[in-house]
Structure 1
Amino acid sequence: MDTLAVEGRRLPRTHDSLAFGIPRSAPGAIYALAIGGGITVGPSEGRTVVFGRNKPEVHVCIGEDDRRVSRQHGMLTHQHGQWWVSNTGKLPIRLPGSQWLFAAEESLPLAEGYTPLFVPGTRGREHLLELFVAGSDGQRPLTRHDALTDPPKTWRLLPDERLALVLLGQRYLLHESDPQPLTRQQVAEQLMELRPDAGWTHRKVEHLLKDVRERLSREGVRGLTREEVGEPVGNKLNDNLVRELVLSTTLVPPDLRLLDQLDQAPDDSER
C-alpha cells in the first residue's frame, strides 16, 4: 500500500496527545496518532486509514516491535458521513467502556471528539492508538462548563428483579477487585433465606435474569446475548448485565441494605 494514496497530513512522533484536542480542521476530519506518529485526513466517502505493525504498508504504525500486533490490525473508514473502526487483525481491539472489537465483527461508529483504542500485545503490553474526529464546526466539541449534568439512563426493575440482581452483583457493589457475578444456584440459595415462601430455584433465577437481559438488549445495551459475546459464554452475559446496571446507577451500593437479613440470620451452629 502506498501511504501517500490517502490525501492527508502526517503527524510527527512529537505531536501532543490528541486528548489535548485538535486545531480547527475540516468538519468530520479524523486524526489518528500512535507513539511513532500518525496522520490526519479529511472526510470522503470510502476513504480508509489502515493501522498496524508493518510500517511500510500502513498509514499509522502501532506496536512495530511487538509480533502480537498484526501487520494490518485495523481500518478507519469513512462511510455515510461517519468514521467507522474495524478489526482486521488476530487479536481484539479494546475501546472505552471495556468494549472489545473482534475480527470479522461489524465495524463500530466513532463519535465526535476523542477516542482511545488499545491493541493488546506481548506480556500484558497495550499499544495505544489515539483518535479524534473533528466536530461539525471543524473543532473539538464545545466546552460546557456551566451546563447541567446529563443524568445516566437508569433501568426500571421490579422488586424481585432488583433483589435478585443485587444478590447477583453484590461483589461489584462491595467494590471487590476483579468481581464476578454469583452463580444462579448461589443467588437462589440466598433468595430462599430472604424469601423462604417464594419458591426460588436456580431455574427461576435463570428465567428472571434472562428476562432482564432481553429487555435491556431490546433497548440497545450491547453484550447481553450469546450472539454478541460468542462461545464459551461462561459468566460474560451476567457480568455485562451487572456492569451496565452499576454503570447506569440502576444498582448502587446502598442497595446492599436489601441483604441485611442475610447478615442477621443465625447460622446452623447458633441454633
Structure 2
Amino acid sequence: MWYAIFKAAIFRPLVKYGFRARIIGAENVPRSGGAILASNHIATMDSLVVPAMVPRRVTYPAKAELFTGKGGPGAALVAWFLKAVGMVPMDRGGGRASATALDSISEVLATGALVGIYPEGTRSPDGRLYKGKTGLARMVLANDVPVLPVGVVGTETRRGLFGIPYVSRPIVIVGEPLHFSELAGRDRETKALRWVTDETLAAIQRLTGQQYADVYASRVKYGDLKDTGSDAHVLPRPGGGPAPLPVVRDDAE
C-alpha cells in the first residue's frame, strides 16, 4: 500500500514533471511474473528515477544496516520507509549472511515481483561501466527468471536555485528481456555465472554507450586503483568480446 501511495503522490510526479524524466522501452517490461531489473549505477538518484518511471513496482535490496533504525530519528525514519515500501535487507558481509539475503530475494521473485539490482555493486566513480558481480547471475539461474537490462542516463545531480540539488531530464532505457533458461539451475558454476553477468552488462552497455572497464568499481573508489584509475583495464565490452555459451560444467572439469 505505502509503495503505491508514495509513488503516485510524490515520486513519480517529482521525477516525471519536476525532473522532466522520460522512459524508452517501457513496453519491454513484462506485465507480470518474476524478473530482475539490472541497471547501470551512475548516481544516487538512480534509485529514485528508475522505480518512479518503470510501470511496475520495483523491489530493491538495501544495505542491512539501514533497517536497524540505529543512529537517531533520521535513521529510524529511513528504516521505517524501507520496510513500508517492501525493500529487502542485503548483508554485504559475504558468507552465510549474504547467502541468506539471496534467499530472501528469491522469495520475493517467487511471488512474481520485479527485483532491481545494480550488478556493479556500487556507483561508478567516473561514469564508466564496471565489471559486474555474479550475485545477479546466481539469482537469475537459481530462479530461472528473465533479466531486464536498463540503461540510465543523466541522473547526476546539479545545484539549482538557492543551491538546491536537482536532476535535469534523465532518461531510463529498458532493453528487451534476456532469457538464460538454458543455464537454469547452474547457479554454482563459475563459468556460467560469469557468462550471464558479462552478457547482462554488455546489454546495458549497448543501451548507454558507456566505456567499459574490466575491474570492480570498488577497487577504483576505495582500493588499489584509487590513485591510478581504470584506464589500463578498458575493454571493448564485458568479457572482452562475444563468448560462446558455457557448456562444460565446472564440476566435470
Higher relative strand content: 1
The reply to whether TM is greater than 0.5 is no
TM tier, shorter chain? under 0.3
Larger RCO of the pair (alpha carbons < 8 Å, separation 6+): 2
Tell which structure's C-alpha radius of gyration is larger.
1
Higher relative helix content: 2
TM-score, normalised via structure 2 length? 0.26
TM-score, normalised via structure 1 length? 0.24
